[in-house]
Chains A and B, each alone.
Chain A
Amino acid sequence: MQDFLELAVSATASGCIYGLIALAYLLMIRPTGIINFAVGEWAMVAAFGGHLLLYRYEWPYFAGMAAVLALMVVVGWVTERIAVRPLVEKGSAVLAPILALLGVLVITREIISVSFPPDPLPVPFPFGIGRLEFGLVGGSYQSFFIIAVTLAVFAGTWFFFEKTLWGRSFEAVALNRRAAALMGINLSRVTAFSFSGGAAVAGLGGLLVSPNISAHYLMGVPLAIQGFTALVIGGVGRVEGALIGGLLLAFAEQLTIRYAPIPSGFAQGVPLLFLMAFLIVRPAGLLRARA
């Protein structure tokens, strides 16, 4: 039991990371239909930003975090300007920006791998290394920090979509682009905003996970796969779906590693099996979009 609860905390924390990456996808898919596989690389860029500011220049954690997130907003905005907007304005099929973003993925990764040494680089923990215990439930400071920040982000996103005019206009674009434009919603501003937001959320995920796994230039693609699997599990219809999908995926992974008698490398196959199972049984995800 003790063992399971310990595992539950760390699985919840990694589920939160997957949930953040899934949310980053969702922020961009909902209004534009564009799947941006570069979210994993954005998480990686933020991890390297964390290494640079927090480790090398020893900034205080929250100042460094704010600076990295601000950088990510700019990265998302610039990416949208260069690789998405020209294609959308030309009226290309939705595949064109997706492919352009794959180009961005490779370019981003190569720029990082040229600028930094190839070894995993350390990123400091915000509260150092230590354990927090509430009765039977215990875990590292970082696990609880990840869970708290993620919950705050999801609550904020939910509030934004449900309660603010801006958020409603996002939803309107997601439901029907043409109609939303006719109602006077600025489509390109919504797109730019969704990319900035997506980059910030993905960057947050990368920054939060980086103290545990170190900043490495190849960390992006696995995160991109796990985040998208979480999104498929939860469904793109609702914001909460991303978090629930991430948690389910992380529990499945960690329980397999801990209790199934297979080499730990094979646990990387769990997302694929999960994905296949969901595509067959429940292609729209667990949560249906509200009518």
Chain B
Amino acid sequence: MRWLAAFVVLSGAAFFLGDYHNDVYRKMLLWVTLALGYNFLFGICGQVAFSHFAFYGIGAYSVVIFLFHFHAPLPLAIVLGVAVCVIVALAVAIPSTRLEGFYLALATLALAQLFVVLLNEGGDVTGGTGGIASYRLPAIFGMQIRGPWYTAVIVFILLMTYAILVRLDRSWFGRACRAVRDNPEAAAAMGINVARTKVVAFTLTSALAGVAGMVYAFVDNTVNPPIFGLENAFLLLFMVIVGGSGRHAGAAIGAVLLFLLPFFLSPLVGHHHVLVFGVLMLAAILLQPKGLIGLWDRFSR
């Protein structure tokens, strides 16, 4: 019931917004979706990865490629897109989570770099540097979903992601993830398969990012390489840290704040808001490691 109410309120808001604000609103919702998933991976499971945004891109590109290059029907394209994300995630996670330390960070950093290279070099399939544009979401049961109705689809994906993550967080798996984050040796001693927990968490959150990417593909009806670069991968990390890592509300607050901040900052600093983000993130780690949500906790007590 609460979920239904949240769905109605969040998607209902879209019907009162103009085209421009609807666009901003949709992207904000997608950032929140991504930040929630990344928070599970980074904040709850303690894995430093830079590939989350690349998986967003893999999802977006693969659904478009399967639909319009291979002419697959929409459900099949979605399934295949998820499959691509899962396979890539497993290929990265299985070797790099076997080891202690930050090999995953490096492997995913390299993956994120490589992904953009592949997009640029992909020729016909990925459309090269220009990307793929001017396609449209195929009709579902003969209906074209557009405008605020498409925003409702995004709200649905956001709530679905959130529901999955909350469920997982409260299950034995979420506890296992936290145990692995806090003390891998102790977790292993308690019978948790540390490597498998890490691989499953990485693959699952990457697949969720991929699904969000598929929805994104039809927001602008264009996908191109610069969007999926490392900049946004760092931004995602900053969102979670500034908001408060390990907490769903923290990730959501961080995402909303850092997404909206450039709109207010641009009259002051032009395009250099990333500098402000860097300073915010450094300040958060040094002064307020629990993030904004930690501040909120302190004041509400």
Q: Which residues of A contact B (CB under 8 A)?
A: 35, 37, 82-83, 86-87, 92, 95-96, 98-100, 102-107, 110-111, 113-114, 221-222, 224-225, 228-229, 232, 263, 265-266, 268-269, 271-272, 275-276, 279-280, 283
The 6 A-B pairs at the shortest CB distance, nearest first, are namely A103-B282, A106-B278, A110-B275, A107-B278, A265-B121, A272-B110
**Whole-angstrom CA separation of A86 from B286 in the bound complex:** 7
Q: Mark B109-150, 1 if CB is under 8 A from A, else 0.
A: 111011001101100000000000000000000000000000
- With A265-B121, A283-B99 known to touch, is A275 a contact of B107 (CB < 8 Å)? yes
**Apart from A96-B285, A99-B285, A265-B121, what 6 extra A-B contacts exist at CB < 8 Å?**
A100-B286, A110-B272, A224-B109, A275-B106, A276-B96, A280-B98
Do B95 and A107 have beta carbons less than 8 Å apart?
Answer: no
Asked if A221 and B274 sit within 8 Å, CB to CB, the answer is: no
B107 touches A107 (CB 8 A): no
Question: Are B117 and A106 in contact, CB atoms less than 8 angstroms apart?
Answer: no
Give which listed residue, A95, A106, A232, A280, contacts B281 with CB less than 8 A. Answer: A106
Q: Write the residues of chain B forming the contact surface with A, with a CB cutoff of 8 angstroms.
A: 46, 48, 91-92, 95-96, 98-99, 101-103, 105-107, 109-111, 113-114, 117-118, 120-121, 230, 234, 237-238, 241, 272, 274-275, 277-279, 281-282, 285-286, 289
Q: Which of B110, B230, B238, B289 contacts A96 (CB 8 A)?
A: B289
**Are A266 and B121 in touch, CB under 8 angstroms?**
yes
Given A92-B289, A269-B114, A283-B99, A104:B121 Cβ within 8 A: no
Partner of B95, one of A100, A224, A280: A280
Interface SS of A by simple majority: helix
Judging by beta carbons under 8 Å apart, are A100 and B109 in contact?
no
A87:B286 contact, CB within 8 angstroms: yes
Contacting residues, chain A, for B114 (C-beta < 8 A): 268-269, 272
Cβ A279 vs Cβ B96 within 8 A: yes
Contacting residue for A35 out of B92, B102, B111, B274, CB 8 A: B102
Asked if A114 meets B110 with Cβ closer than 8 Å, knowing A99-B241, A221-B230, A283-B99, the reply is no
Residues of B within 8 A of A110 (CB): 272, 274-275, 278
From A102, A225, A265, A283, residue with most partner B Cβ within 10 Å: A102
Contacting pair B98 A269 (CB below 8 A): no
Chain A residue nearest to B269 (CB atoms) is: A114
Instruction: Provide the residues of chain B in CB contact with A269, threshold 8 Å.
Output: 114, 117-118
- 12 inter-chain pairs at a CB distance below 8 angstroms, sorted by A residue, are A100-B286, A102-B237, A106-B281, A107-B278, A107-B279, A225-B113, A266-B121, A268-B114, A272-B113, A276-B96, A279-B99, A280-B95
- What is the chain A residue whose CB lies nearest that of B237? A102
CA distance in complex: A265, B121 (Å) = 7
B274 touches A271 (CB 8 A): no
User: Are A87 and B106 in touch, CB under 8 angstroms?
Assistant: no
Q: Considering the chains assembled together, what is the distance between the CA atoms of A229 and B110 in angstroms? A: 9
Judge whether B107 and A111 touch: CB under 8 Å: no
Are A104 and B110 also in contact (CB < 8 A) when A95-B48, A266-B117 are? no
Question: Is A271 touching B272 in the complex (CB atoms < 8 A)?
Answer: no
In the bound complex, residues from chain A placing their C-beta under 8 Å from that of B117 are 265-266, 268-269
- A268, B230: Cα distance in complex, Å: 15
Q: How far is the CA of A35 from the CA of B90 in the complex (A)?
A: 24
Q: How far is the CA of A92 from the CA of B288 in the complex (A)?
A: 12
Q: How far is the CA of A37 from the CA of B237 in the complex (A)?
A: 14
Residues A114 and B48 in contact, CB atoms below 8 Å apart: no
Enumerate chain A residues within 8 angstroms of B98, measured Cβ to Cβ.
Answer: 279-280, 283
Q: Which residues of B contact A268 (CB under 8 A)?
A: 113-114, 117
Among B106, B120, B274, B275, contact of A229 (Cβ-Cβ < 8 Å): B106
Say whether A107 contacts B110, CB under 8 Å: no
Alpha-carbon distance between A259 and B277 when the two chains are bound, in angstroms: 43
